């Protein structure tokens, strides 16, 4: 059994709502990158990307396991692996980990990320979101 950290029980209504939130974050992340000026910092966009990835992961774990992660967002990867087992592709696990590793720095730190950093984060998210949409329609 995989140690997943603190979780909270959720039902199908939550899945639907959380998926709508994930899709909203995805649209906002795309828009943010599309209208950014060359000198803009990337932190706000990356923050939205990370929140989107968390929302998709929550929707998947709520659907497949009836639980979502609580507290430490780093453990969401473990919960997702516990929910999906080998159905979680290593590439998508790596995408999610890479995004979550930036959470504290971009949301609470003082170092400015670049627009290129934001574009790379969005690329990871686009791949993760496309995969998540397939999982959530099964």
Homologous superfamily of domain range 7-136: Nucleotidyltransferases  domain 2 (1.20.120.330)
Q: How does pLDDT run across 78-133, given as a tens digit for each residue?
A: 999 999 999 999 999 999 999 999 999 999 999 999 999 999 999 999 999 999 99
- Cα–Cα dist 16/75, whole Å: 22
Q: How does pLDDT run across 12-52, given as a tens digit for each residue?
A: 789 999 999 999 999 999 999 999 998 999 999 999 999 99
Give the predicted TM-score (pTM) of the model.
0.91
- Cα–Cα dist 43/46, whole Å: 5
Sequence spans of domains, the chain: 7-136
């Amino acid at each position: 059994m995989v140690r997943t950290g603190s979780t909270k029980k959720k039902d199908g209504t939550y899945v639907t709502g959380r998926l709508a939130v994930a899709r909203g974050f995805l649209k906002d992340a795309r828009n943010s990158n599309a209208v950014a000026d060359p000198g803009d910092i990337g932190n706000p966009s990356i923050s939205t990307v990370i929140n989107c990835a968390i929302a998709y992961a929550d929707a998947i774990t709520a659907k497949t396991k009836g639980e979502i992660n609580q507290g430490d967002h780093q453990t969401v990867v473990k919960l997702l692996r516990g929910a999906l087992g080998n159905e979680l592709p290593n590439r998508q696990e790596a995408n999610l980990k890479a995004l979550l590793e930036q959470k504290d720095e971009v949301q609470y730190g003082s170092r400015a990320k670049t627009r290129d950093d934001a574009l790379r984060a969005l690329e990871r998210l686009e791949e993760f979101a496309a995969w998540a949409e397939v999982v959530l329609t099964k």
